[in-house]
Structure formats: C-alpha cells, structure tokens
Amino acid sequence: MLRCSALSEVQAEEAAVARTRARTTKAPKAMRRAAARPRAPVRSAPTPYFTHFDAAGQAQMVDVAGKDVTRRVARAGGRIVMQAPTLALIAAGAAKKGDVLGVARVAAIQAAKQASLLIPLAHPLPLTRIAVEFTTDGQANAIAIEVTAETLSRTGVEMEALTAAAIGLLTIYDMCKAVDRGMRIEGVRLLEKTGGKSGHYIAA
C-alpha cells in the first residue's frame, strides 16, 4: 500500500511538471504569432522647422517656383501711445511739421514696397494694393494703424503689411519726438491673412 501511495504521488508530480512545461512552450508560440500580425503604421506629427534654412543650416530664400499664383491678402496693425497733448496736436493738425498722419500714411505705403530690401530673405512681390488706416483712441491716448496689403503671387504678403505698419508708427514717432520722446510703439502683429496652402489666419 505504501509503495502504491508513493507511486501515485510521484505520478501526480510528474503530471504537474508536464502541464507546466506545456504552458511554457505554448506561450512563446502565441507571442510569435502576435508579433507576426501586421500592424498599422504609427504616424507622427511633422516636426516644425524654419523654412529659411536648408538642411545644412544655411540661410536661403525659400523656393516658391512650384506654388500657384493666387490672390493673397494680409492685414497688420499696431499702435503708438503718447501723452494727451501730443495726441491733441496730431488730431488738430497743428504739429509744427504739418499733417503727421498724412506723412505716416505715405511712409507706410513706401515701406511696403521696400520690404524685400529690408527683410533679407523676403521675396520681392508685385503689390496690387496697399491701404493704410489710422484710428485715434482718446481714452488710451494712442493712434492705431492698420495696413492691408494685396498681391497676385506665389508667396504671402505678410511681411509687406508688417513692415508698413511698423514704419508708419515710426514715422509718427519721428515727427512728434520733439514734443514727446516718451511715446511707445506696441502690438505690431499680423491680424489676418488669406491665400496659399496655409489657409485663412485670423489673430486671436
């Protein structure tokens, strides 16, 4: 009886070991089958980069030859803050140098046409329209400028609008600095652009 009992215990242990081996040999096969299944490619977001540098990090003018000629429009703006008496002189047209805003408007238009000479990697564009508007804010003692630039071209006209806005405000400063050297130019930025593959942009 003891021999039978001992034998049955040995057989039970051998059976348990056999079951364990079977499980451990089956697991790798299942893993291999799972690894062999085709998986969908993982798409990562494109890495942002500055287009005005080539692969070697050298400055370049972006090649736009493959783009379509489309109507492109950009609006840019900013403002100049000053003392209340300075604003009153400008509004009355009584500044010693004459019509400040009239001169600043011409300066802004001229600057838009010269943007490619001032911004090293900007393309020279055939501008079809430049419009400059000034708005007086009596509460903030400020004058805001808004420039709209348009072209039929292969690249955007943002730099022309931004250059015009900045130079228009600088011209106001230049003409009024004898009265108010503490004037402050601020908020020069792109307000809106349309045309091209990047689509429609409106500033928040």
Question: Which residues are marked as active site?
Answer: 174
CA-CA-CA-CA dihedral for 167, 171, 173, 179, to nearest 10: 180
CA dihedral 176, 178, 179, 182 (to 10 degrees): 80
3-state secondary structure of 145: strand
Strand ranges (DSSP E) for the chain?
Answer: 70-81, 127-137, 142-153, 184-194, 201-202
Closest among 183, 186, 193 to 157, alpha carbons compared:
193
Tokens of 47: 């890495």
Residue type, 105: R
Secondary structure of 146-174 in HEC code, one letter for each residue: EEEEEEEECCCCHHHHHHHHHHHHHHHHH
**What residue type is 62 in one-letter code?**
V
d(CA 58, CA 51): 11
